[in-house]
Structure 1
Amino acid sequence: MEVPVIDLAAYLSAGEGEVGSEVSELCREVSGILRETGALLVKDPRCTVEDNDRFLDMMEKYFESPFHFKRLQERPNLHYQVGVTPEGVEIPRSLVDEEMQEKFRAMPKESQPSIPIGPDPKWRYMWRVGPRPSNTRFQELNSEPVIPDGFPEWKETMDSWGHKMISAIEVVAEMAAIGFGLPKDAFTSLMKQGPHLLAPTGCDLRRYGKEGTVFAGYHYDLNFLTIHGRSRFPGLNIWLRNGKKVEVKVPVGCLLIQTGKQVNPY
């Protein structure tokens, strides 16, 4: 099964006026896809191939930096909610949750996830995007960003790509709300000043390039919607609401959006 692609251009060009029948139908399609499968690909003319490539170029340069350099951006005292998370830190739930493993064994063979043999070998970088609340009880979610030395373009690149992806999510959230028969801002009004997170991951294929290596164990996201830019490497599998395993191929110029735990299925 191919993950459907939605072009956001028609919605964006409709402006703030009354939603026409064509756009209304597109909104119903978006809400239906999120309800039935939990995943869709979108094409947003504001998120260009050049934007994606500039972000990837910088992150590849960072992740190939020496181990000791990357550890300087590590903030374990903030639960790794900002800065870098080294390889071997994140323990996938599927490694230790026996009930989840039992669920895997009940799946058809072709849809069973691979069970990791240890902690994730990937690195992750946590970068918050957008305005923070002035008062918060969750300081680790709203701490000052960590910028590595030697990357003068870091903040501008991270903020630019992060804001563009959030803009795409906001459009999808508005379209889903309209498609579900809710007010247009039913979801976006709840997203304001949220701890929106850009969290690119990287893995050293020279050390962990063996076929079958699990970089990130089977999991579900806790939040509302997750958006992925296009990667230069294959290997991302997702599971639809019906339990079917799908290898995702993000076309050039597209973004992948998945529902998280905060979205209750209708």
Structure 2
Amino acid sequence: MELPVIDLAPYLEKSAKCSREVGEKKLDDPNLQKLCEEVSRTLAQTGALLVKDPRCSAQDNDRFIDMMEKYFQRPPQFKRLQERPHLHYQVGVTPEGVEVPRSLVDEEIQGKLRAMPKEFQPSTPMGPDPKWRYMWRVGPRPSNTRFQELNAEPVIPEGFPEWKDTMDSWGYKMISAIEAVAEMAAIGFGLPKDAFTSLMKQGPHLLAPTGSDLQRYGQEGTVFAGYHYDLNFLTIHGRSRFPGLNIWLRNGQKMEVKVPIGCLLIQTGKQIEWLTAGDCIAGMHEVVVTNRTTDAIKLALQQDRSLWRVSSTLFAHIASDAVLKPLGHFAGSPIASNYPPICAGEFVEQELAVINLKGNKGEL
């Protein structure tokens, strides 16, 4: 199965026109309505979606990856200067060997894995993920919040004068794409257009690229990110220079993702599952060195390119002080009681504790 590619341009054009024309609030174009329904249906059925956004170019993604390759190539002792364990690693760098894959510690997930057909089972991680990650907040922070450690100031490494501009530029563009998809999904689900985006305002959105050293860990079968779901609302990725991302569809089928040049991949997180009472479920995925990865390594060696696999990843969140609960007609779902109201920041803290990012090096 191939994921459909949704071109956001027609929706963005219509949306811009609606905002200019006072009084025209509803989407009255049947073709765009169908497009919105395709977005919501695809997210619900597969947990993933490919989009093309005219505001996010392949060149933007390349500029970002070029800089992150240079950063991850720096020595570990340099990178550790940007480490902030007391802030739950929610800003700055997370070194390799810290984050624990959910599948290693979650007994419910382990039970589901054992019940899977062999060909759909994920790779088994040997321990914590051997990947580095950089967390960079994007967008305005709330002036008053109960969750200060989830809304900390960003960390800028020395020797990268272009850092803030590059991170903010790419981060804002990817958030804009997520907001368009969130509006389209809301329309497709029969909710108000701003049902999701109103809750995202001043959320602790994170541009969170990973860096995986293929020179050290380039053997086929190496697990860089063990089988897990994302705890946030929606995750968006630009195209990586090395393949290796596998996702699981709602029917349990495992699928290797191929992101076309100039496209972005969007995945459902746990917060949208909460807001839709499980109509969307958080998509499971892993990053593993496959034979396609090793082919890309050989090509990079021939071309004298970096052997760091950088993921161009952004986690879009519901605002920390907003309440997660099933929205609109989803509140009437027979399983809505499985998703009781909880403050988004509280939910995030609970999830971070499970994967070893909160509380392991001292509390605030």
1:1-266 mapped onto 2 (5 Å cutoff): 1-14=1-14, 15-16=17-18, 17=24, 18-19=26-27, 20-263=29-272, 264=276, 265-266=278-279
Q: Give the superposition deviation at 1:259.
A: 0.8
Higher-RCO chain (CA-CA 8 Å, sequence separation at least 6) = 1
Instruction: Measure the CA separation in 2 of the matches of 1:38 and 1:96.
Output: 23
User: What TM-score results when the alignment is normalised by the length of structure 1?
Assistant: 0.97
Instruction: Measure the CA separation in 2 of the matches of 1:70 and 1:59.
Output: 12
Q: Give the superposition deviation at 1:28.
A: 0.9
Equivalent AA in structure 1 for residue 234 of structure 2:
L
Give the SS at the match of 2:271. Answer: coil
Q: Give the superposition deviation at 1:122.
A: 0.1
Instruction: Measure the CA separation in 2 of the matches of 1:13 and 1:94.
Output: 42
Equivalent AA in structure 2 for residue 110 of structure 1:
E
The C-alpha deviation readout for 1:143-173, integer Å capped at 9, x for no partner, is 1100000000000000010000000000001
Instruction: Measure the CA separation in 2 of the matches of 1:199 and 1:6.
Output: 24
Q: Give the superposition deviation at 1:99.
A: 3.6
Q: Which structure has greater strand proportion?
A: 2
Unaligned runs of 5+ residues in structure 2 are 19-23, 280-364
Give me the CA root mean square deviation. 1.1
Unaligned runs of 5+ residues in structure 1 are none
Give the SS at the match of 1:211. Answer: coil
Q: Give the superposition deviation at 1:137.
A: 1.6
Equivalent AA in structure 2 for residue 8 of structure 1:
L
Aligned residues: 266
Give the SS at the match of 1:195. Answer: coil
Instruction: Measure the CA separation in 1 of the matches of 2:108 and 2:9.
Output: 43
- The more displaced of 12-21 and 186-195 is 12-21
Instruction: Measure the CA separation in 1 of the matches of 2:270 and 2:151.
Output: 21
Instruction: Measure the CA separation in 2 of the matches of 1:8 and 1:33.
Output: 15
The C-alpha deviation readout for 1:51-75, integer Å capped at 9, x for no partner, is 0000000001100111110000001
Instruction: Measure the CA separation in 2 of the matches of 1:164 and 1:63.
Output: 23
Instruction: Measure the CA separation in 2 of the matches of 1:221 and 1:3.
Output: 19
Q: Give the superposition deviation at 1:95.
A: 2.0
User: What TM-score results when the alignment is normalised by the length of structure 2?
Assistant: 0.72
Percent sequence identity over matched residues?
81
